[in-house]
Amino acid sequence: DVIEISPGWNRYWRAMCPNYRSVDFPDFDICRDRTDEQFSIVIADQVLEHVQRPLAAAANIHAMTKQGGWAMVATPFLFRVHARPHDYNRWTPAGLKQVMIEGG
């Protein structure tokens, strides 16, 4: 059981995950919104650089991940600013890991 939080254009995982669901950012505001159910895998691909409150987003990703499950988070590092609708952050691997740790 997989949920993907994405800007609406990335459905790569749908073909590989039979129990796949997606929500579209920014309509689904990961800083404020979370699903009522939990998932074995939560994918946030190219989302966290666009949120004002990445620790709140990480906490919501954690809340949507089942005990023993996985959160798969990817963000750019050396990439141009791409405001869709905003672009706030870039992290090193250690910096993104710290955001995820502080988010739960």
Domain ranges of the chain: 2-102
Can you give the pLDDT at residue 85?
83
| Phi, psi of 96, deg, nearest 5 | -65, -40
d(CA 89, CA 58): 14
Q: What is the dotted CATH code of the domain comprising 2-102?
A: 3.40.50.150
Q: What is the pLDDT of residues 2-56, one digit of tens each?
A: 999 988 766 778 888 889 999 989 999 999 999 999 999 999 988 999 999 999 9
Is 1's pLDDT higher than 80?
A: yes
